[in-house]
């Protein structure tokens, strides 16, 4: 029972968090409209009033009213949808819409919009409490009633289409849901003599704070409650908006605490004094993603719009950030309050719009430069509060990411060992989310790289490495081009994982053609230092080989870079089995006519077999690393390699041994007749400049 309740609570929490993330555009645009409408500069306000007869102000007001002005309605819809998506795996559009209808209707009932006088402010921030109730309980009730009525096997209009029948089936659960809301609201109004559930909530909050009256304690409680609600995905500012209106809006001479006091000296950057968080991320964050987010959030934070930081870092449901998010505003509030009590900071005498930037708001509110000084002190206090937690959270995130990445690579490596297909993008939980994230980031990296193919940008996430190849005399005769994707968060990603994700996401062709063009362009520099017979190998999967665009691409590359015949070798890797048909032979023959040669990678393992050699399509065979690693200890392996070398002489192809790591392996291969090597005995993969330097040293 406890486990079921706990799971339900987690589901509700996730739904609240996701729904708030969904309405970020509404919050962001609405907040910007509030800022544009209330920016405290007289010349600017006059401009809004007179420009096109006030048309610009009217447009701004319209956008404000249709975004944050009906925020609670958007919240209800988003929350209902998010809850349904998490709890019902297969739901029709009609089912989802039925759940949303129940929640929205329930919201209008609970908020009391149609009681006595229609108060449109209830549709905005003040109605968020009712939006939470309706958005959560609406879909819960709808699901329960849907299951109940489905057992009755009601049959409607056999001749109608499926959508019509689905809509008919929604009527009963929808009606039951709104009846529940109506009865509940009616009981509340009768028992507590209020207009609605929302009215009861506002009276309860007012009673708590009015009993305390305006003081340091009531202001502190107000700030803590708002921050605490935000930590659990509840928009505390909107939930307690009525309290702010009734309790703190009016500036009373002799009273330090007011809404303008809190907005000016506590909520700098947004709830939680997140301006301090932004600077802490800029100065103490190590990850690129942290710094990029802080730069992205800079402009909104200046105008006290903190949603990007609250959701992006994130603050919501993040235990690491719970303490500073609550403590930072407490420190700022207490510091400003004490400095006012001792006479350093003048009392707030002028109302400021909450979107007024820090420093400007401090001066306007107090009419003194000391207001600016106190704001700077509070920003430094909050930054110092956030800084150690930013560092700790980054380290924790890196550890968790590394663990998840290892799990993802483990799944792929297991599939490689068993030759079983695996769909990484369809994995569940953190592993699946990471796979999707990496696939999206890889697509962006490919697009960025393809947009600037002709540059050698060292900051590019797609980097080329070249592993040199040597003959038995120690002469460097070629190299293999190897892609390395350096992710901003996870570092260099396991290359087979990059290829697999690109294949699943449909980006493999774009990735491999980028690698080919980059390698072909670099080959010219290598020939200048190693000689015209220097050969560069580039891996290509069977999927790309069979792509209809590949022939014209290779022809264009041959003409564009004037490829010397035999200098560019295309290595066919085994992501998919190569079909040995006449069509395949004709395809490779045509590509060879453009000046390319072909190699067969990892020969003797996986899909490869001797039949690949019968049509004389390949110029080079690369021995699988598993053969090389056991050539010293296993006589059968030595015999297999000996047979392949013998075949190479009779079938006219060359043999190269990969993963050669010791002199003993090299000598054993040389005795058999394999005289071309690649591996750590000679060199790991190195960058372009290092390979050129190797050529200069010869």
Q: pLDDT at residue 362 above 90?
A: yes
| Of 143-157, 206-220, 574-588, highest mean pLDDT | 206-220
User: Cα(first)–Cα(last) distance of the chain, in Å?
Assistant: 75
Mapped onto helix, strand or coil, the DSSP state of residue 94 is helix
Question: Tokens for 668?
Answer: 């054993």
Q: pLDDT at residue 159 above 60?
A: no
Our separate counts of H helices and E strands in the chain read 30, 9
Q: pLDDT at residue 564 above 70?
A: yes
- The Cα–Cα gap between 521 and 567 comes to 12
CA dihedral 138, 141, 144, 149 (to 10 degrees): -90
Q: pLDDT at residue 575 above 60?
A: no
- DSSP string computed for 361-382: HHHHHHSSHHHHHHHHHHHHHH
The pLDDT value recorded for residue 157 is 53
- The Cα–Cα gap between 688 and 698 comes to 16
Question: Tokens for 378?
Answer: 């509070």
Beta-carbon contacts of 523 under 8 Å, excluding residues fewer than 6 positions away, are 534, 536, 561, 567, 568
Residues 107 and 179: beta-carbon distance below 8 Å:
no
Rounded mean pLDDT, 477-495: 88
pLDDT tier, 662 (very low <50, low <70, confident <90, very high otherwise): very high
Which DSSP letter does residue 577 get?
P
CA dihedral 11, 13, 18, 20 (to 10 degrees): 150
- The Cα–Cα gap between 579 and 607 comes to 10
The pLDDT value recorded for residue 398 is 79
The pLDDT value recorded for residue 318 is 80
pLDDT tier, 588 (very low <50, low <70, confident <90, very high otherwise): confident
Which secondary-structure segment (H or E) carries 540?
strand 535-541
Which secondary-structure segment (H or E) carries 603?
strand 596-603
Which secondary-structure segment (H or E) carries 538?
strand 535-541
- The Cα–Cα gap between 413 and 410 comes to 5
Question: Tokens for 453?
Answer: 């193919």
Q: For the chain, what is the mean pLDDT?
A: 85
The pLDDT value recorded for residue 91 is 65
Question: Tokens for 639?
Answer: 């015999």
- The Cα–Cα gap between 410 and 404 comes to 10
Rounded mean pLDDT, 531-540: 90
pLDDT tier, 657 (very low <50, low <70, confident <90, very high otherwise): very high
The pLDDT value recorded for residue 276 is 94
In sequence order, the β-bridge partners of residue 220 are none
Buried b (16+ CB within 10 A) or exposed e, 115-142: beeebeebbbbbbbbbbbbbbbbbbbbb
pLDDT tier, 208 (very low <50, low <70, confident <90, very high otherwise): confident
- The Cα–Cα gap between 232 and 380 comes to 26
Residues 270 and 277: beta-carbon distance below 8 Å:
no
- Degrees, nearest 5: CA angle 381-383-388: 110
The pLDDT value recorded for residue 2 is 59
- Tens-place pLDDT, residues 428-437: 888 888 898 8
Flag the least confident range among 17-21, 78-82, 380-384, 665-669.
Answer: 17-21
- The Cα–Cα gap between 64 and 692 comes to 61
Percent residues over pLDDT 70 in the chain:
92
* CA distance to 175, 485, 495, 675, per residue, from 684 (Å): 70, 16, 15, 19
- Tens-place pLDDT, residues 443-479: 988 888 877 655 555 567 888 999 999 999 989 999 9
In terms of residues, how long is the chain?
698
Rounded mean pLDDT, 76-96: 81
Mapped onto helix, strand or coil, the DSSP state of residue 88 is coil
Q: pLDDT at residue 655 above 50?
A: yes
- Tens-place pLDDT, residues 64-79: 899 988 888 998 999 9
Q: Are strands 491-492 and 476-487 parallel, antiparallel or unpaired?
A: antiparallel
The pLDDT value recorded for residue 177 is 93
In sequence order, the β-bridge partners of residue 39 are none
Question: Tokens for 369?
Answer: 């430069």
- Tens-place pLDDT, residues 349-360: 999 888 889 999
Q: Are strands 535-541 and 491-492 parallel, antiparallel or unpaired?
A: unpaired
* CA distance to 56, 200, 313, per residue, from 213 (Å): 41, 20, 36
The pLDDT value recorded for residue 607 is 45
Buried b (16+ CB within 10 A) or exposed e, 572-584: bbbbeebeeeeeb
The pLDDT value recorded for residue 38 is 80
Question: Tokens for 483?
Answer: 């892609």
The pLDDT value recorded for residue 109 is 93
- Tens-place pLDDT, residues 285-334: 887 778 888 888 888 888 888 877 887 777 877 888 889 999 999 999 99
In sequence order, the β-bridge partners of residue 603 are 623
Looking at domain 454-697, its CATH superfamily turns out to be: EAL domain (3.20.20.450)
- The Cα–Cα gap between 275 and 393 comes to 18
* CA distance to 85, 173, 265, per residue, from 148 (Å): 20, 9, 54
3-state DSSP of 551-564? HHHHHHHHHHHCCC
Question: Residues spanned by CATH 3.20.20.450 within the chain?
Answer: 454-697
Task: Please report which residue ranges of 419-507 form alpha helices under DSSP H.
Answer: 429-451, 495-505
Q: pLDDT at residue 621 above 80?
A: yes
The pLDDT value recorded for residue 606 is 44
The pLDDT value recorded for residue 679 is 92
- Pick from 11, 74, 24: nearest CA to 312: 24
Beta-carbon contacts of 180 under 8 Å, excluding residues fewer than 6 positions away, are 106, 141
- The Cα–Cα gap between 27 and 305 comes to 9
Rounded mean pLDDT, 597-620: 69
Which DSSP letter does residue 271 get?
T
């Amino acid at each position: 029972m406890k486990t079921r309740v706990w799971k339900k609570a987690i589901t509700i929490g996730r739904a609240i968090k996701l729904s708030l993330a969904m309405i970020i555009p509404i919050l962001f645009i609405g907040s910007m409209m509030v800022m544009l409408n209330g920016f405290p500069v007289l010349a600017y306000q006059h401009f809004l009033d007179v420009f096109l007869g006030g048309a610009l102000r009217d447009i701004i007001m319209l956008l404000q009213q249709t975004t944050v002005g009906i925020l609670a309605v958007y919240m209800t819809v988003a929350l209902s949808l998010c809850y349904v998506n998490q709890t019902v795996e297969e739901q029709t559009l009609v089912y989802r819409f039925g759940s949303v209808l129940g929640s929205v209707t329930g919201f209008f009932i609970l908020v009391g919009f149609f009681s006595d006088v229609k108060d449109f402010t209830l549709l905005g921030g003040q109605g968020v409490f009712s939006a939470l109730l309706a958005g959560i309980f609406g879909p819960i009730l709808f699901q329960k009633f849907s299951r109940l009525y489905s057992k009755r096997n009601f049959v409607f209009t056999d001749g109608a289409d499926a959508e019509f029948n689905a809509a008919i089936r929604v009527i009963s659960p929808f009606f039951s849901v709104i009846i529940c809301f109506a009865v509940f609201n009616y009981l509340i109004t009768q028992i507590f003599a209020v207009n609605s559930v929302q009215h009861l909530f506002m009276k309860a909050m007012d009673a708590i704070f009015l009993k305390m009256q305006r003081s340091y304690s009531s202001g502190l409680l107000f700030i803590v409650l708002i921050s605490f609600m935000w930590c659990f995905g509840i928009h505390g500012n909107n939930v307690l908006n009525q309290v702010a209106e009734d309790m703190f809006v009016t500036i009373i001479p002799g009273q330090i605490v007011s809404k303008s006091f809190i907005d000016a000296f506590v909520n700098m950057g947004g709830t939680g004094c997140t301006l301090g968080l932004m600077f802490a991320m800029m100065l103490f964050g190590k990850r690129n993603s942290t710094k990029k987010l802080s730069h992205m959030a800079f402009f909104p934070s200046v105008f006290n719009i903190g949603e990007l930081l609250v959701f992006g870092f994130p603050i919501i449901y993040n235990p690491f950030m719970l303490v500073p998010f609550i403590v930072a505003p407490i420190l700022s509030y207490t510091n400003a309050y004490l400095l006012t009590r001792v006479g350093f900071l003048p009392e707030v005498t002028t109302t400021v719009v909450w979107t007024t930037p820090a420093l400007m708001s401090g001066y306007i509110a107090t009419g003194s430069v000391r207001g600016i000084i106190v704001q700077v002190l509070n920003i430094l206090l909050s930054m110092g509060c956030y800084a150690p937690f930013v560092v700790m959270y980054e380290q924790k995130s890196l550890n968790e990411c590394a663990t998840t990445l290892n799990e993802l690579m483990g799944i792929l490596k297991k599939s490689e060992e068993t030759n079983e297909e695996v769909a990484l993008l369809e994995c569940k939980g953190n592993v699946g989310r990471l796979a999707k994230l990496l696939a999206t980031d890889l697509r962006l990296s490919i697009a960025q790289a393809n947009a600037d193919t002709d540059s050698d940008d060292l900051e590019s996430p797609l980097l080329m490495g070249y592993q040199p190849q040597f003959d038995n005399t120690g002469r460097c005769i070629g190299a293999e081009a190897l892609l390395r994707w350096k992710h901003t968060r996870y570092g260099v990603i396991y290359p087979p994982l990059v290829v697999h994700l690109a294949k699943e996401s449909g980006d493999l062709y774009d990735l491999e053609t980028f690698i080919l063009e980059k390698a072909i362009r670099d080959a010219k520099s290598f020939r200048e230092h190693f000689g015209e017979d220097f050969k560069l190998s580039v891996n290509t999967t069977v999927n790309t080989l069979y792509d209809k665009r590949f022939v014209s691409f290779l022809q264009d590359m041959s003409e564009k870079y004037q490829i010397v015949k035999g200098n560019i070798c295309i290595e066919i890797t085994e992501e998919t089995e190569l079909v040995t048909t006449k069509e395949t032979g004709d395809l490779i023959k045509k590509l060879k006519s453009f000046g390319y040669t072909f190699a067969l990678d990892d020969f003797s393992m996986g899909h490869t077999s001797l039949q690949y050699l019968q049509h004389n399509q390949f110029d080079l065979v690369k021995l699988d690393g598993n053969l090389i690693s056991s050539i010293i200890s296993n006589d059968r392996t030595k015999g297999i390699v000996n047979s392949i070398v013998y075949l190479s002489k009779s079938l006219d192809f060359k043999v190269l041994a990969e993963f050669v790591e010791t002199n003993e392996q090299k000598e054993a291969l040389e005795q058999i007749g394999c005289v071309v090597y690649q591996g750590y005995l000679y060199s790991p993969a190195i960058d372009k400049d290092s390979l050129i330097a190797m050529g200069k040293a010869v």
